[in-house]
């Protein structure tokens, strides 16, 4: 049997990620140096004032100063990246001759991943938010169908009571955020809300009586807490001028998640209602473990917020 080799794809993906990362970092550093040195907002390319030919123009003079500082900064950054790499290359090369090549390929990849964790934090939070939106909206949309089906067979009055109990979760979640924010970190509050939702879904799987179905709402009283707290966490990781873009992205993900949740969970419920009507709730509970794992990781490795606060202050002064 022929062995499959994945060395070439791994090297290609690693090289591609490094090239993209370098381009973004250079643009970001240039923008930050411009704002710090000129005490003014960065002038976007494409505007009428982005490229000046008049050497006596103040903007042209600022641009040349920023170009020089950026060039030196890129040089120092390249040295800091290359010199340690030269030393480690000889060590890993010698090691790979005796113990194999896998560790030599794994260590640079893991190092690049760890170096990008600060940038990945906002992406991980967006993914956690979109995933939890998908499962919560999808599961909530199935409660009425589940309650109308056997063995519950609820009437209109009971469905109204159940819906009212579900609306109370917004109030209890608000009170929960107000209380927990005084004593707990943001990831802990999100985890409490997610586990409240998971507990409610697990109870819904086995809810065969009216009392148990109402207990589902009781266990899920804090299930809405993750939404505002995740928004707060993401807003702390971006500067003040990027808040609009961030929340536009969040709103887009929320709308897409709501649309996909209805499509996915209703089709799953229709396919499993005869054999196992609670399978959709089991699926929602299992998918909720994805954002739970992300938040557990962020709780162990907390992104620094002080740097963003400092940048925001500088931007406001400019």
* Residues 190 and 295: beta-carbon distance below 8 Å: yes
- CA distances to 125, 190, 226, 260, 281 from 253, rounded to whole Å, are 12, 18, 15, 10, 22
Domain range annotation of the chain: 7-115, 121-304
Q: How many CB atoms lie within 10 A of CB 109?
A: 14
Closest CA to 285 of 206, 208, 212, 194: 194
CA gap 155, 158 in Å, rounded: 6
Kindly give the confidence (pLDDT) of every residue in the chain, 318 residues in length, as a single tens digit, with 9 standing for 90 and above: 455 556 677 777 777 776 777 777 788 888 888 888 888 777 665 554 455 567 777 778 888 888 899 898 888 888 887 787 778 777 877 777 777 777 777 777 777 777 676 667 888 899 999 999 999 999 999 999 999 998 899 999 999 999 999 999 999 999 999 999 999 999 999 999 999 999 999 999 999 999 999 999 999 999 999 999 999 999 988 878 778 888 999 999 999 998 899 999 999 999 999 999 999 999 999 999 999 999 998 888 765 554 444 434 344 444
Q: Coil, strand, or helix at residue 47?
A: strand
> Is 18:112 a contact under the CB 8 Å cutoff?
yes
CATH number at 121-304: 1.20.1250.20
Q: Which residues contact 192 (CB under 8 A, 6 or more apart)?
A: 176, 180, 184, 222, 225
What is the spatial distance between Cα 190 and Cα 225, in angstroms, rounded to a whole number? 6
Query: Which pLDDT value is given to residue 39?
Result: 80
Please name the helix (run of DSSP H) or strand (run of DSSP E) that holds residue 113, with its range, or none. Answer: helix 102-115
**H helix runs in 141-278, sequence order:** 143-148, 156-180, 186-205, 210-219, 226-235, 243-272
Residue 279 is predicted with a pLDDT of: 95
Pair 294, 218: CB distance under 8 Å: no
Under 8 Å between Cβ of 195 and 292: yes
**What pLDDT score does 48 carry?**
47
Give the closest residue to 11 by CA, choosing from 105, 141, 114: 105
pLDDT at 51: 59
């Amino acid at each position: 049997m022929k062995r499959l080799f994945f060395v070439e794809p791994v090297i290609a993906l690693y090289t591609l990620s490094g090239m993209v990362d370098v381009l973004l970092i250079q643009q970001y550093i240039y923008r930050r140096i411009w704002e710090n040195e000129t005490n003014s907002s960065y002038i976007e390319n494409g505007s009428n004032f982005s490229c000046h030919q008049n050497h006596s123009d103040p903007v042209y003079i600022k641009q040349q100063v920023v170009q020089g500082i950026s060039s030196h900064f890129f040089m120092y950054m390249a040295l800091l990246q290359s010199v340690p790499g030269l030393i480690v290359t000889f060590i890993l090369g010698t090691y790979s001759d005796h113990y194999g090549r896998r560790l030599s390929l794994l260590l640079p990849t893991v190092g690049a991943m760890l170096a990008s964790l600060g940038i990945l934090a906002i992406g991980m939070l967006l993914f956690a938010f979109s995933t939890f939106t998908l499962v919560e909206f999808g599961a909530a949309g199935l409660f009425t169908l589940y309650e109308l089906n056997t063995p519950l067979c609820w009437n209109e009055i009971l469905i109204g009571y159940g819906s009212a109990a579900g609306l109370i979760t917004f109030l209890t979640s608000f009170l929960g955020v107000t209380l927990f924010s005084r004593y707990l970190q943001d990831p802990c509050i999100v985890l409490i809300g997610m586990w409240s939702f998971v507990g409610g879904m697990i109870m819904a799987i086995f809810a065969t009586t009216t009392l148990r179905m109402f207990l589902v709402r009781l266990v899920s009283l804090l299930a809405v807490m993750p939404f505002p707290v995740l928004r707060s966490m993401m807003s702390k990781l971006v500067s003040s001028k990027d808040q609009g873009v961030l929340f536009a992205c969040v709103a887009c993900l929320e709308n897409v998640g709501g649309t996909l949740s209805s499509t996915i969970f209703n089709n799953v419920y229709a396919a499993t209602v005869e054999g196992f009507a609670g399978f959709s709730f089991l699926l929602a509970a299992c998918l909720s473990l994805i954002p739970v794992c992300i938040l557990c990781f962020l709780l162990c490795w907390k992104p620094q917020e002080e740097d963003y606060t400092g940048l925001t202050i500088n931007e406001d002064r400019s």
